[in-house]
């Protein structure tokens, strides 16, 4: 049986970021991921980072390429009735955002972690968690066709909404809260210049739209769509036509069309499980909570969880104190519920609800800016 101090389930950004932070505290960990490295790095996800997340990635030792290639945004736009309103984040809060695709971030983290042999076990099948309600948890798995077992002090569940970690907690020991929205986002990725230098959210009578980017030559666009639609029903020409129809005239004229190389539909939901701890199992990221993508909180919430958890584990091993471990769930959930409320409000503000007309006035601009750039970790 192999042993480590912390077993991390899931090699997405949360799991790899935690492994990096723990290593810098001198804490040993092993990451188990059921997918291949190529599969994980090919997933198309978020690309807008709060500055607190940027600083955390620097702390984890993986910020060099991000700072060199990422795009600093001092604000963003919201279009109502064809008129664009700019939210000046830097002026209102003193903070900015950084656009850097999660695909690139995942690659940076994987390269850093895989530089240490045995830190990540890719394609680990049949992962099961045992004994986390006692003093010595174990994780069983199959790797390379052979059974394996990992003894550890703690388990960090960073394996997403559909992972094994949350499902391993007895149903009676957790409470789940969920809201499912009656629409989805149809996303398209294309190698064309962005329609605008900053992210633009669009509220339109035909439905919501979002103009984002991954670089100065790669654009990410979204359209609000029905949940029963399929990407195959949206050839590129139809997507571009619909996006142009929802944009303000000034932006529609700047829209550059091109062939897409990724297109998908994502449902929107808000989800929280409480508490984010069961014995020596700690949940982080999408394993514990999901927010609508409006406002780009998902990855940033995961980073905040990992920061708090890494600090707590460092205190445990350095000082022999479990004070921060005991506070982990409560500290993380305060920030989670703040982001859940903001994302719910922002989604309701911008999207078209068939049976519930919504306000088109932009209110409380300062509160919007403060929440968008991210609340403090404490």
Q: Which tens digit of pLDDT belongs to each residue from 288-307?
A: 999 999 988 999 999 999 99
Helix (H, G, I), strand (E, B) or coil at 231: helix
The one catalytic residue in 100, 141, 181, 201 is: 201
- pLDDT value for 353: 82
User: Is residue 363 classed exposed, middle or buried when 0-12, 13-18 and 19+ CB atoms within 10 A define those classes?
Assistant: exposed
The residues, ordered by sequence, that sit 6+ positions from 232 with a Cβ below 8 Å of its Cβ are none
Alpha helix segments (H runs only) across 9-144? 13-24, 37-42, 51-59, 64-69, 89-93, 102-114
- pLDDT value for 365: 42
Residue 363 has pLDDT above 50, yes or no: no
Residue 196 has pLDDT above 70, yes or no: yes
Mean pLDDT rounded to a whole number for the chain:
92
146 is catalytic: no
Closest CA to 136 of 110, 155, 163, 120: 155
Q: Which of 38-52, 63-77, 123-137, 226-240 has the lowest mean pLDDT?
A: 38-52
Percentage of residues in the chain having pLDDT higher than 90: 84
HSE-CB for 311 with a 13 A CA cutoff: 17
pLDDT band at 364 (very low <50, low <70, confident <90, very high): very low
pLDDT band at 373 (very low <50, low <70, confident <90, very high): low
The one catalytic residue in 100, 221, 328, 372 is: 372
Q: Which of 68-72, 82-86, 180-184, 201-205 has the lowest mean pLDDT?
A: 82-86
Sheet holding 71-73, edge to edge: 48-50, 97-99, 71-73
- pLDDT value for 368: 61
* Cis upstream peptide for 275 (omega within 30°): yes
Measured distance CA(207)–CA(351) in Å, rounded? 6
Phi-psi region of 144 (alpha: psi -120 to 50; beta: other; left: phi over 0): left
Render pLDDT for 28-50 as a digit per residue (tens, 0 to 9): 999 999 999 999 988 777 789 99
The one catalytic residue in 73, 204, 251, 289 is: 73
* Tokens coding 106: 């995942």
289 is catalytic: no
372 is catalytic: yes
The residues, ordered by sequence, that sit 6+ positions from 68 with a Cβ below 8 Å of its Cβ are none
Average pLDDT over residues 232-251: 96
* Tokens coding 261: 């190389």
- Determine contact, residues 174/333, Cβ cutoff 8 Å: no
177 is catalytic: no
90 is catalytic: no
The one catalytic residue in 204, 297, 316, 351 is: 297
* Tokens coding 168: 């391993």
CATH code of the region 2-72+99-178+269-353: 3.50.50.60
Measured distance CA(367)–CA(88) in Å, rounded? 12
Neighbour count for residue 28 (Cβ, 10 Å): 17
The one catalytic residue in 204, 293, 316, 351 is: 293
Residue 362 has pLDDT above 50, yes or no: no
Neighbour count for residue 91 (Cβ, 10 Å): 10
| Number of helical H runs and strand E runs in the chain | 12, 21
Every domain of the chain and the residues it spans: 2-72+99-178+269-353
Residue 359 has pLDDT above 70, yes or no: no
Render pLDDT for 150-187 as a digit per residue (tens, 0 to 9): 999 999 999 999 999 999 999 999 999 999 999 999 99
């Amino acid at each position: 049986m192999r042993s480590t101090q912390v077993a991390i389930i899931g090699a997405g950004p949360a799991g790899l970021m935690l492994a990096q932070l723990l290593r810098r505290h001198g804490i040993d960990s092993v990451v188990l991921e059921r997918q291949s490295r190529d599969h994980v790095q090919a997933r198309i996800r978020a690309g807008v980072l709060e500055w607190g997340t940027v600083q955390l990635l620097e702390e984890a030792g993986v910020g060099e390429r991000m700072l060199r290639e990422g795009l600093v945004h001092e604000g963003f736009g919201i279009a109502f009735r064809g008129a664009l309103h700019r939210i000046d984040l830097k002026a209102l809060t003193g903070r900015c955002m950084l656009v850097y695709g999660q695909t690139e971030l995942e690659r940076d983290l994987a390269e850093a972690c895989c530089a240490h042999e045995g830190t990540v076990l890719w394609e680990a099948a049949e992962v099961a968690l045992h004994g986390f309600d006692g003093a010595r948890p174990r994780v069983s798995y199959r790797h390379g066709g052979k059974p394996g077992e990992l003894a550890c002090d703690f388990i960090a569940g960073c394996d997403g909404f559909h992972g094994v970690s949350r499902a391993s907690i007895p149903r009676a020991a957790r409470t789940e809260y969920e809201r499912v929205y009656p629409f989805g986002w149809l996303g398209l990725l294309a190698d064309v210049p962005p329609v605008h230098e900053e992210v633009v959210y669009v509220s339109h009578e035909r439905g919501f739209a979002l103009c984002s980017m991954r670089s100065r030559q790669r654009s990410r666009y979204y359209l609000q769509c029905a949940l029963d639609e399929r990407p195959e029903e949206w050839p590129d020409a139809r997507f571009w036509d619909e996006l142009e129809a929802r944009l303000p005239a000034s932006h529609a004229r700047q829209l550059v069309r091109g062939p897409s190389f990724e297109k998908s539909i994502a449902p929107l939901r808000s989800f929280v499980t409480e508490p984010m701890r069961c014995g020596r199992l700690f949940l982080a990221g999408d394993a514990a909570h999901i927010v609508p993508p409006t406002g780009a909180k998902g990855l940033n919430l995961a980073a905040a969880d990992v920061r708090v958890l890494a600090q707590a584990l460092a205190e445990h091993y350095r000082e022999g104190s479990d004070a921060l471990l005991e506070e982990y769930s409560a500290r993380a959930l305060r920030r989670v519920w703040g982001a859940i409320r903001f994302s719910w409000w922002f989604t309701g503000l911008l999207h078209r609800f068939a049976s519930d007309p919504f306000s088109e006035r932009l209110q409380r601009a300062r509160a919007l800016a403060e929440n968008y750039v991210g609340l403090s970790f404490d």
